[in-house]
Structure 1
Amino acid sequence: MLEIRSQGTLTAKGKTLSGYAAVFNSEANLGDFQELIRPGAFAKSLATGSNVRALYHHQGDALLGTTKGNTLQLREDSHGLAFTLSLPDTTHGRDLAILVDRGDVSGCSFGFRVAPGGDRWEQRGAQLVRELLAVDLMEVTLTADPAYQDTTVAMRSRPHQQTHVDLNALWLQTA
């Protein structure tokens, strides 16, 4: 069963988005239970080199990039699951860049399957708590409605490259 979790704050600059699709040790209220992701939860999945997709709102037809295509880079650090995404020049990519820049889309989500023995459940008073210890990562998603509010996305800008156009040289090339 594929599980989906949403989180945080996105930033966009130019055509590259970066942020955190998951933040470690941050609790999310999922209704019937609280959930948190422990450091190392994505390590085994990332080490396999399996293809992970970047999507908009978990929609398969809104593909933004893949690890296989090297347009999505993922890594675990001490804070969580960091990503860098090179946006495509597609309707979804252009629209998302605008939405992130405006602050309308500022969070992330991820789709996963729990690896065998990859979670731990604990009753803490009246609250049931699930800890994610090892998951098989299937996708990261950019969303306006994250479950984990600590996730982030940001636009990274490239320096503006001013180009000089030599109109005489262009004219000579056509003559």
Structure 2
Amino acid sequence: MADNVISGYAARFGDETVIAGEFRERLAPGAFTRTLRERPDVTALLDHDSGRVLGRTTAGTLTLRQDRIGLWFSLDVDPTTPEGQTALGTVGRQDVKGCSFSFRAQAETWQDGGEKLPLRTLTDVDLFEVTLTYNPAYPTTSASLTHTNASAAARRVRMRAEMEQKLRGIA
């Protein structure tokens, strides 16, 4: 049994992707440092749709952390909402297993690509939202249901109680 938590990487440092067939893009380590410190509210959405909110940092339902890999998130999903049911169902089946993010570049560098497309490296971004999506711009992002030991422990306690009830003839 899975908890109602989806987690993964909304962005990964150093991984390149092609944007609109025009240029390559990657995120430099630390690109989210300033925005995570200064931005009070970031939302989690389904497919960049502002009408399908799944969580937000100010509500405590979205946690964001930058580490050596990239921008990690943990999203406490409400299964009583249509959006929550969709997110839990599609991520649980891995129909949706990637992420994207909405941002404004504050600092970037460009390199001539020579035979390749030019390369933009984002070094500082304003982060507005992270989103669960089936078709992320960065294919190395991830989203999956989180299984915790708390769920396993709760099942063991319940099974033990049921066994004791059977032994006592209470069932």
Using structure 1 for the length normalisation, give the TM-score. 0.82
Alpha-carbon shift at residue 49 of structure 1 (Å): 4.0
1:139 aligns with 2:129: yes
For residues 101 and 17 of structure 2, the distance between their equivalents in structure 1, rounded to whole angstroms, comes to 13
Matching residue within 92, 95, 108 for 1:119: 108
| Percent identity of equivalent pairs | 39
1:106 maps to: 97
2:86 maps to: 95
For residues 35 and 109 of structure 2, the distance between their equivalents in structure 1, rounded to whole angstroms, comes to 18
Give the number of the structure with larger relative contact order, counting CA–CA contacts within 8 Å between residues 6 or more apart.
1
1:66 maps to: 56
Moved over 3 A (4+): 160-166
For residues 113 and 17 of structure 2, the distance between their equivalents in structure 1, rounded to whole angstroms, comes to 15
**5+ unaligned residues in a row in structure 1: which ranges?**
1-11, 167-175
> In the alignment, is the contact (CA less than 8 A) between 1:13 and 1:154 conserved in 2?
no
For residues 139 and 146 of structure 1, the distance between their equivalents in structure 2, rounded to whole angstroms, comes to 14
For residues 23 and 15 of structure 2, the distance between their equivalents in structure 1, rounded to whole angstroms, comes to 14
For residues 13 and 108 of structure 1, the distance between their equivalents in structure 2, rounded to whole angstroms, comes to 20
Structure ranking higher in strand proportion: 1
Count of paired positions: 153
Structure ranking higher in helix proportion: 2
**5+ unaligned residues in a row in structure 2: which ranges?**
166-171
Alignment of 1:6-155 (within 5 A): 13-30=2-19, 31-89=21-79, 90-115=81-106, 118-126=107-115, 127-155=117-145
Alpha-carbon shift at residue 13 of structure 1 (Å): 3.4
Partner SS state of residue 51, structure 1? coil
Alpha-carbon shift at residue 157 of structure 1 (Å): 2.6
Using structure 2 for the length normalisation, give the TM-score. 0.84
> In the alignment, is the contact (CA less than 8 A) between 1:42 and 1:136 conserved in 2?
yes
Q: Deviations over 1:92-132 (max 9, x none)?
A: 111111111111000000000111xx111111203211000
For residues 21 and 46 of structure 1, the distance between their equivalents in structure 2, rounded to whole angstroms, comes to 14
RMSD of aligned alpha carbons: 1.8
